[in-house]
Structure 1
Amino acid sequence: MPTSSQADRILVLGIGNILWADEGFGVRAVEEFHRRYAVPENITILDGGTQGLYLVNYLEDADRLIVFDAIDYGLEPGQLKVVRDEEVPRFTGAKKMSLHQTGFQEVISAADLLGRCPKHLALIGCQPLDLQDWGGPLTAPVRDQINPAVALAVDILAEWGVEAAPRTASLPESERLLANDIDHIHYEMRARPA
C-alpha cells in the first residue's frame, strides 16, 4: 500500500445532489466525516455537491483523493464498494459510474488531460435504492452505510500514513460543512413527514 508524507495534499470529497434521495450519499458521508474527525492541515474536506467540472481545480491541487459518491455498481441497495487508483475510470468512454449530469469520470479525465490528476484515488461508492424521491431523505439502506463509509475513509488515510483524530468536542455550528438548514439533521427533519 502506498504511504503518504505529511507534505502530500489530500482531498476528501463528497459529491451528489441532496435533493434526490440517495443521490445525496456522498455529500452526507463527507459531512459526517468532517463532523466526527479533525485532520491535519494538508487535508482539504470538501462538499463538491453537483459542481461537476468546477471540481477540476481542487483535483489539480491534490496528490491523493478520497471520494464519497452514490454509484450504480449493479449491487444490492446500500452496498459499499471501494474502487482504487487505476480501477477508477478516468475517461468518458469508460462505463459511467457516477450518477451526476457531468460524471465524475469527466472531472478525473479533465484533470488527467491537464497532467494534474491525483497520484492515488479511492472512490467509496454506495449502491443507491431511490433516486426519484425529489426532496426526500436518504433511504434506510443507504443512510446505514454512512458510518461504515466514513470508517473506510479513516482506514485509507491511515494506509497513507495520516491520522484522522476523533473530535473531542462537538463541531461548532460556524464550522459545519453545510449550513442554512441543509445539513443532514435539519434536512432530514424537514424531508420526513411528521
Structure 2
Amino acid sequence: MNKDVAIIGSGNAFFKDEGVGLYAVKYLKENYEFTPEIEFVDGGTLGFLLMPLLQEYKEVVIVNTASEEGKEAGKITVKSCNEFLEGTLVKKTANEVEIAEMLQICSMAEYMADTVLVSIVPEDIISVEVGLTTALRDIWQDYINTVLEVLQQSGVKAKRREDKISLDDILHTFAYPSIEHGRGF
C-alpha cells in the first residue's frame, strides 16, 4: 500500500524541549492506528537529508519546536511551509536553521509535498537531558490533539489504541534505548 502522508518528528532528543517533535510522533505511532496508513519518520536532526521526503509524499507534516520572538513556551502554531518561512522564526538551534533552509530550497523545486508544520515554542533547549519542561508537559495533550487535527484535515483518521503508552514511557525509550529497538521509532 502506498502511503501518501508522512509525519516527521524533528529535533534533538538530548536537549530537553527540542526533542518534543520526536516524542510526539513516537507517541502518536504507539498510541493510535491511522487510516489510511501514514509513514512515521524519525527526522531527528537530519535537516537537509529530509529533502527527498518532501518530493516523495503528497503531504508531509513536520512536528518540531520553533522559537518565535515574543511567544511564550508552550505556544502551538500550525503553519503552511510559506507561512513558516515568512514568520518570525528566531532559529535558536542548528535544527531550526536546517529545517527552515531545507524548506526554502525545496519550495523552489519543481515538486514539493503540501507541507504543514505543527510547532511548539520550547522553554529549555539548553539542558542536556531527555525530557520536557513543565510548560510543555502541561500542554502535551493539546499538542497531540493539534497534530491529530492536522492529519484529519489531510483525510487521515486516527483511532486510539486501548493499550495506551504514556509520555513518560516514550521519554524512557529515548533516554534508555535498548540494543534491540534503538532510539526513536
TM-score range, shorter chain: 0.7 to 0.9
Contact 2:81 2:103 in 1 (8 A): no
Q: What's the CA shift for 1:50?
A: 0.3
Match of 1:114 in 2: 109
Aligned match for 2:38, one of 9, 34, 43: 43
Matched, 1:10 2:13: no
Contact 2:3 2:39 in 1 (8 A): no
The ranges of structure 1 where at least 4 consecutive aligned residues each deviate by more than 6 angstroms after the TM superposition are none
Identity among equivalent positions (%) equals 21
Aligned length: 171
User: What residue ranges of structure 2 are gaps of 5+ in the alignment?
Assistant: 177-185
Q: Deviations over 1:88-117 (max 9, x none)?
A: 218xxx855573344212222232233231
Matched, 1:132 2:119: no
Query: RMSD of the TM alignment (CA)?
Result: 2.9
With over 3 angstroms needed to count, the CA separation of the structure-2 counterparts of 1:87 and 1:98, relative to structure 1, is farther
Matched, 1:184 2:161: no
Matches within 5 A, 1:13-24: 13-24=8-19
Aligned match for 2:83, one of 68, 87, 105: 87
Match of 1:70 in 2: 65
Q: What's the CA shift for 1:26?
A: 0.8
- Compute the TM-score of the two structures, normalised by the length of structure 2: 0.78
- Compute the TM-score of the two structures, normalised by the length of structure 1: 0.75
Matching residue's letter, 1:83: K
Provide the rounded CA distance (Å) in 2 between the counterparts of 1:24 and 1:157.
Answer: 20
